[in-house]
Amino acid sequence: MLKRTKLIIGNWKMFKALSTAVNDYKEIVSLLAKKNAECSVGIAAPSLFLSELTKYSSNVVTLFAQNSHWENEGAFTGEISPFMLKDMRIAGSLVAHSERRQMFGETNQTAGKRLGALLKQGMQSVLCVGESLGERENGKLQKVISTQLQVALKFSGLRNSYEFIGSNPDFPLFSVAYEPVWAIGTGRAASAKEAQEAHQFIRRELAAYFNEDTAQKIKILYGGSVKPNNIQNFLSCPDVDGALVGGASLKPSDFVEMIF
């Protein structure tokens, strides 16, 4: 079976002042430099801080934005584009986090357009999918996730696997984060079994859309109340290739504790 390097991304959401962000980022870089970790590590910081944080970058942490527009430039007040991020040497962006879906009108179509624009720039893209509690309880989990994936992939405007994988097959540009909405910021994580079932389903959908070989390369991260004391349960599942960590990524020592 193909070995996928684990990827752990901290999502700082709309937290921290610039000085705290810089100090915390520097601390993460320095702790990781001593750790010689096997996994790849990313931080999705508020876009306002990215330019400053790149000054302290190293090859142990990759910087991500939390959102990015589908056009490279234009009259889109308040937005930032993949072109701008690339120009600042930012690796990529999260796409369609559930908070953006719930509060900022993100749809599967706009998610797809964002995804396509990032991939066209050769940037890493983490498409977030996941069901609400009501959808899970009504047996709609697979339908919801399948629609989120299929529509986003279609609206990306890209079809060929290599556009999603990029030039380094060991580190594909496209990843998926499975984040059940009921587990985000609630302290109620999915069980490892629930995560593995959803991830296995997502990989099957990816195989149907692309092909088995491509699906085996794509990383599927779990997100939702991941903490130092439960992360290993998730990472030991065969189809869980990493984690997207919110609250527990805010304190550098907690975050680095989760990296191995």
Torsion of CA 38, 39, 40, 44, to 10 degrees: -140
CA of residue 197 relative to chain centroid, distance: 19
**Residue among 245, 256, 258, 259 that touches ligand PGA (CB under 6 A):** 245
Instruction: Give yes or no for residue 247 binding ligand PGA (CB under 6 A).
Output: yes
Instruction: Give yes or no for residue 239 binding ligand PGA (CB under 6 A).
Output: no
Q: Which is nearer to ligand PGA, 41 or 165 (CB)?
A: 41
User: Is 65 in contact with 93 (CB distance < 8 Å)?
Assistant: yes
Q: Return the range that interacts with ligand PGA (CB under 6 A); candidates 28-36, 84-92, 109-117, 220-228.
A: 220-228
Shortest distance, CB of residue 103 to ligand PGA, whole angstroms? 12
Q: Half-sphere exposure (CA, 13 Å, Cβ side) for 250?
A: 12
Q: Which two tokens stand for residue 70?
A: 């589908």
Instruction: Give yes or no for residue 11 binding ligand PGA (CB under 6 A).
Output: yes
Instruction: Give yes or no for residue 246 binding ligand PGA (CB under 6 A).
Output: yes
Q: Which is nearer to ligand PGA, 28 or 245 (CB)?
A: 245
- In angstroms, the CA 224 to CA 183 distance is 5
Residues 158-187 touching ligand PGA, rule: CB under 6 A, are 179, 184-185
Size, binding site for ligand PGA by CB under 6 A: 13
Q: At what angle do helices 18-35 and 47-54 cross, to 10 degrees?
A: 50
Which phi-psi region, left, alpha or beta, contains residue 4 (left: φ > 0; alpha: ψ -120 to 50)?
Answer: beta
Give me the residues that bind ligand PGA (CB under 6 A), please.
Answer: 11, 179, 184-185, 223-226, 244-248
